[in-house]
Copies of this chain bind each other. A is one copy, B any other.
Amino acid sequence: MPARSAPDPARRNERSRRAILAAALELLGETGYADLTVEAIAARAGVGKQTIYRWWAGKGAVILDALAEGAADAPELPDTGDVEADLRAVVRATVAELADPALSATTRALTIETLSDDALAEQVRDRLLRPHLDTVVVRLRAGQDAGQIRADVDPAQAVELLFGPLYHRWLLRTGPLTEGYADGVTDLALAALRP
């Protein structure tokens, strides 16, 4: 029978890292970004505050890492062969996320970080937003190949046409975020994107 092995520091670090990221996401949903502190994350994760500061610059960096792990698992956008139906589905899902108080709090936190910290902004864009937007670009290109989307449209601009209005309304709170609203945006964008 082998001797019981000594505790593995790498494994212990990984366990702490996961506990910190999970605690950060939980607290974000519960207290919102503004009232979130590194102290509270440390207490919830059962680690010392210094452990967090050894690995991250601050709460923004912790939350970015926590969310980036989720983004890496994001599925491809479905391709049913009907680009209009697929775009309608993703616009509805995005509006539903923006209308959800907990998810909206997360997006709010990220947006504040993006506006406040240039270095973090690049990471938010490249690690969280690009992967999501790129799935829509891929779907739009397939739609162009299938002759369902105008060939002369830049897919990156088409993505902004679909998602820009949603974030505009969410940010400025100028109207309700409902499924009917989502479909209205999709209809209007499709009128521009159809061949």
Contact = CB atoms under 8 A, between A and B. Distances in A.
Interface of A: 34, 108, 111-112, 114-116, 121-122, 125, 129-130, 133, 153-154, 156-158, 160-161, 163-169, 171-175, 184-185, 188-189, 191-193
A191 to B, nearest CB: 4
A104 to B, nearest CB: 10
A160 B174 CA distance: 10
A157 B188 contact: yes
Contacts of A165: 157, 160-161, 164-165
Number of copies: 2
25 contacts: A34-B116, A111-B115, A111-B171, A114-B171, A122-B173, A125-B172, A125-B173, A156-B175, A157-B184, A160-B164, A160-B168, A160-B169, A160-B185, A161-B188, A163-B164, A163-B168, A164-B164, A164-B165, A165-B165, A167-B167, A167-B168, A188-B193, A189-B192, A191-B191, A191-B192
Given A108-B115, A129-B172, 5 more contacts: A125-B174, A164-B167, A167-B167, A188-B192, A188-B193
Contacts of A192: 188-189, 191-192
Nearest to A32: B116
